Amino acid sequence: MAYPESATVRTQFASFAAIREAASSFVSRLVMQTVTDNLEQQGNSAGLPDFIISNILNQLMYGSTMILWNVKMRLLSVQIL
């Protein structure tokens, strides 16, 4: 048979969705770590105290988390409709 049966396709799709989610999560963590390292380096170069750099990074983490949460909620609401 040239094309897989629909049950096989559904199983593969679920597997692909999990792989996609894992890859997306990995890339997000990698990008965030790169941004964090760069901001720490730039802050230290500019002579900023550690507590200011830490505060900036905390605000960045909080903001990016809220943005991702809002996007996921919108995607879920579209799927529900």
Is-contact 47 64, C-beta < 8 A? no
Is-contact 59 68, C-beta < 8 A? no
Specify the pLDDT at position 46.
Answer: 94
Is-contact 44 36, C-beta < 8 A? no
Mean pLDDT, contiguous 10-residue spans, the chain (81 residues): 62 78 86 89 93 88 76 73 51
Specify the pLDDT at position 69.
Answer: 76
Question: What token pair was written down for 31?
Answer: 């990008």
Query: What is the DSSP code (8-state) at residue 46?
Result: T
Whether the predicted model's global pTM rises above the 0.85 cut: no
CB atoms within 10 A of CB 8: 10
Specify the pLDDT at position 3.
Answer: 58
